[in-house]
């Protein structure tokens, strides 16, 4: 079925003639979308003198890394960058395992309880955690989760799990059930069936999940700013905000910090893009 | 045998259920409980005040302003983002060259933190875009964050720059699963491009439309990060969202009981809107 659909899609391609007007219009749109990105990078290489004396659109005269060095020092990046990597990596790893097994159990076990579980998790998508920031903050200090590494990781997992389960459940229909049944006849336990048969087939879904969760957690501001106030535990996004709030005109440093903070996620996206697009196609359509 | 499998499946679901319950459901019920008290966040006792907090909400001008700003921002986003995302998806799906490059260019902004997006657009409006006036000698007002009339427009531009590419990708995925022979059949029947779009493409896209509409709405109702770094809720209180107002009331003003009532109100709004949207949109899906 899937192969057939793909075939049709490929057959369809030559029939579609590229309209040059559409091509030109979309080029303009793409350039407009890229323009702020250009502005960020351009600013990040400017010297203070160039910032004050020249047009914001003028290119910097030399490839100067001063702002990057300043951003690294000001944001204490050997601490904040590592913190952000650790929180994101561990949370996403836990989410990948947890959402996969939860969604699979929900999709395969037809009992009423599992249907209830699905609805229960979905409530979390309709209520984004930002709306619940106040009680999440209150429960955080009641359970002594604030200002700890495991506390914020726990919260990232809790706030990400709904979307993950939703995404993975919509994927499970693409995993052929016959394979699992034959594994079970061979005497595989439920766990073994999942990890050796199902998981390898979930690559696009996992790539989608990893990217979606990674950029949410990496970019999170509200939760990180409420949960972590000690300097050694701060995240990159929270410390960048200190460059914004100061009414300083020193925004070349801020722009360099932005480039540094966006790069890891951009690289992750580029490297998983192939699977991610596939994942979106299956996941979004099944809904 | 079946029972053993059920138990094994159960062990797979339980950890997620526990984490989700402690992290989301318990806080949700707590906020309902706190919302009927006048708790200040520190003292042990939480004086019970009944529904007084909710009654006060409807008389609180600051909260009502935040409520209307959030509604306007959400409606604006839902319309603009859906239309642009679908339009761009159809354009990219029309067989243009180098589709992947366009797709990436439009998608990348959503990988950036909303906090950063707010700051970047602050600088765009105040420093970068006015250069266009200098170059072309035009007099376009780019200082959108400067006055309370234009601040909503400025925020909509920033938010749409960030998110259109994401929803476009979902529409694109939906479009690519529309079977080509449906279009062929419609063509044979004499339908023109516009008719084919509304009678073939749109109905086939119904599941994607549901996801995008609900996603954009819930995403807009929770706006906060974007405001912190750009307008700080201003000028005046012109761009204070419901979450921003809750933050000011509870965290800065130490009115945890009252802030909880705001949280519960927002949650009820989110659930109500999502239910209405899913119900009406799903009906359309069945019809086709």
Q: How many CB atoms lie within 10 A of CB B119?
A: 26
Q: Which of B116, B219, B248 has the highest number of chain A CBs within 10 A, making it the mutation to test binding with A?
A: B116
Residue B140: its pLDDT value, please? 78
Residues of chain B contacting A194 with CB distance shorter than 8 Å: 12
Residue A279: its pLDDT value, please? 76
Q: For residue A33, give the nearest of B26, B109, B123 by CB distance.
A: B109
Rg (CA), chain A: 23
Helix, strand, or coil here: B37?
strand
| Residue-wise pLDDT tens digits, B232-248 | 887 888 889 999 999 99
Between chains, do A219 and B115 touch, taking CB under 8 Å as contact? yes
Q: For residue B270, give the nearest of A127, A220, A226 by CB distance.
A: A127
Kindly list the domain boundaries of chain B, sorted by start residue. 61-287
Helix, strand, or coil here: A104?
helix
CA atoms of B139 and B136, how far apart (whole Å): 9
Between chains, do A281 and B12 touch, taking CB under 8 Å as contact? no
User: Which residue in A has a C-alpha nearest to residue B112's C-alpha?
Assistant: A262
Residues of chain B contacting A56 with CB distance shorter than 8 Å: 127-128, 131
CA atoms of B223 and B209, how far apart (whole Å): 21
Question: Which one has a higher pLDDT value, B154 or B139?
Answer: B154
| Cβ under 8 Å to A: B residues 91-150 | 91-92, 94-97, 101-116, 119-121, 123-124, 127-128, 131, 134
Between chains, do A132 and B214 touch, taking CB under 8 Å as contact? no
Q: Which of B88, B94, B106, B227 is nearest to B171 (CA)?
A: B88
| Residue-wise pLDDT tens digits, B9-61 | 888 889 999 999 999 999 999 999 988 888 887 777 788 888 888 888 888 89
ipTM: 0.87
User: Which residue in A has a C-alpha nearest to residue B170's C-alpha?
Assistant: A284
Between chains, do B116 and A237 touch, taking CB under 8 Å as contact? yes
CA-CA-CA-CA torsion for B70, B76, B77, B78, nearest 10 degrees? 100
Residues of chain A contacting B208 with CB distance shorter than 8 Å: 284-285, 287
- Give how far A279 is from chain B: nearest CA, Å: 9
- Give how far B183 is from chain A: nearest CA, Å: 10
Residues of chain A contacting B17 with CB distance shorter than 8 Å: 102, 117, 120
What residues in chain A have per-residue pLDDT under 70? 1-17, 245-249, 281-287
Helix, strand, or coil here: B268?
helix
CA atoms of A72 and B145, how far apart (whole Å): 30
Prior bond of B281 cis (ω within 30°): no
Helix, strand, or coil here: A16?
coil
Between chains, do A269 and B111 touch, taking CB under 8 Å as contact? yes
Residue A287: its pLDDT value, please? 38
Q: Which of A126, A153, A213 has the highest number of chain B CBs within 10 A, making it the mutation to test binding with B?
A: A126
Between chains, do B263 and A215 touch, taking CB under 8 Å as contact? no
CA-CA-CA-CA torsion for A91, A97, A99, A104, nearest 10 degrees? 180
- Give how far B144 is from chain A: nearest CA, Å: 16
Residue B62 touches chain A, beta carbons under 8 Å: no
Residue A3: its pLDDT value, please? 42
Helix, strand, or coil here: B93?
helix
- Residues in chain B, overall count: 288
Q: Which fold has domain A66-286?
A: MetI-like fold (1.10.3720)
CB burial class (10 A; 0-12, 13-18, 19+) of residue B267?
A: buried
| Residue-wise pLDDT tens digits, B201-232 | 888 888 888 888 888 998 899 899 999 888 88
| Residue-wise pLDDT tens digits, A42-85 | 888 887 777 777 777 777 777 788 889 888 888 888 899 999 99
- Give how far B47 is from chain A: nearest CA, Å: 17
Taking residues B72-91, what's their average pLDDT? 93
> Which option is the CATH number for B61-287: 3.40.50.150, 3.20.20.140, 1.10.10.60, 1.10.3720.10?
1.10.3720.10
Integer angstrom CA distances of residue A220 from A84, A171, A224, B23, B209: 10, 26, 7, 16, 27
Residues of chain A contacting B94 with CB distance shorter than 8 Å: 16, 18-19, 22
């Amino acid at each position: 079925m899937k192969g057939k659909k793909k075939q049709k899609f490929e057959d369809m391609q030559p029939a579609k003639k590229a309209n040059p007007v559409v091509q030109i219009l979309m080029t303009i749109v793409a350039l407009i979308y890229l323009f702020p990105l250009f502005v960020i990078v351009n600013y990040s290489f400017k010297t203070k003198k160039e910032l004050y004396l020249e047009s914001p659109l003028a290119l910097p005269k030399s490839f100067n890394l001063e702002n990057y060095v300043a951003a690294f020092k000001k944001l204490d990046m050997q601490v904040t960058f590592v913190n952000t990597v650790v929180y994101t990596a561990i949370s996403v790893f836990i989410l990948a395992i947890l959402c996969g097994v939860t969604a699979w159990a929900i999709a395969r076990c037809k009992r009423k309880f599992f249907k209830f579980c699905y609805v229960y998790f979905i409530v979390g998508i309709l209520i984004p955690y930002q709306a619940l920031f106040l009680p999440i903050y209150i429960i955080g200090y009641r359970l002594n989760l604030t200002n700890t590494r495991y506390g914020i990781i726990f919260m990232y997992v809790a706030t990400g799990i709904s979307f993950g389960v939703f995404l993975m459940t919509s994927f499970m229909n693409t995993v052929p059930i016959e394979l699992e049944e034959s594994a079970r006849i061979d005497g595989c336990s439920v766990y073994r069936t999942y990890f050796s048969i199902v998981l390898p087939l979930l690559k696009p879904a996992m790539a989608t999940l990893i990217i979606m969760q990674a950029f949410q957690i990496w970019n999170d501001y509200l939760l990180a700013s409420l949960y972590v106030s000690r300097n050694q535990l701060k995240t990159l996004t929270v410390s960048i905000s200190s460059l914004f709030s100061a009414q300083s005109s020193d925004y070349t440093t801020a722009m360099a910090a932005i480039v540094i903070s966006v790069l890891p996620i951009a690289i992750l996206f580029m490297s998983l893009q192939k699977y991610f697009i596939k994942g979106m196609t299956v996941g979004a359509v099944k809904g | 045998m079946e029972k053993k499998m059920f138990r094994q499946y159960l062990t797979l679901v339980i950890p997620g259920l526990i984490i989700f319950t402690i992290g989301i459901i318990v806080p949700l019920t707590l906020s309902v409980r706190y919302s009927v008290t006048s708790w200040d966040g520190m003292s042990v006792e939480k004086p019970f005040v009944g529904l007084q907090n909710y009654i006060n909400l409807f008389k609180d001008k600051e909260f009502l302003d935040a409520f209307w700003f959030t509604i306007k921002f959400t409606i604006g986003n839902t319309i603009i983002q859906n239309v642009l995302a679908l339009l761009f998806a159809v354009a990219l799906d029309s067989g243009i060259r180098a589709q992947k490059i366009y797709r990436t260019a439009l998608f990348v902004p959503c990988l950036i933190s909303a906090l950063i997006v707010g700051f970047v657009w602050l600088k765009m409006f105040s420093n970068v875009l006015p250069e266009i006036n200098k170059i072309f000698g035009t007099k376009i007002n780019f200082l959108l964050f400067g006055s309370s009339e234009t601040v909503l427009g400025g925020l909509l531009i920033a938010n749409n720059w960030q998110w259109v590419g994401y929803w476009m990708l979902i529409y694109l995925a939906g479009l690519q699963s529309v079977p080509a022979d449906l279009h062929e059949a419609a063509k044979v029947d004499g339908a023109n491009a516009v008719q084919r779009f509304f009678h073939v493409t749109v109905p086939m896209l119904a599941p994607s439309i549901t996801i995008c509409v609900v996603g954009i709405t819930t995403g807009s109702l929770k706006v906060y990060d974007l405001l912190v770094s750009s307008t700080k809720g201003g000028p005046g209180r012109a761009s204070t969202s419901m979450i921003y107002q809750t933050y000011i009331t509870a965290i800065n003003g130490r009115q945890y009981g009252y802030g909880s009532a705001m949280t519960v109100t927002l949650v009820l709004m989110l659930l109500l809107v999502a239910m209405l949207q899913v119900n009406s949109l799903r009906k359309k899906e069945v019809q086709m």
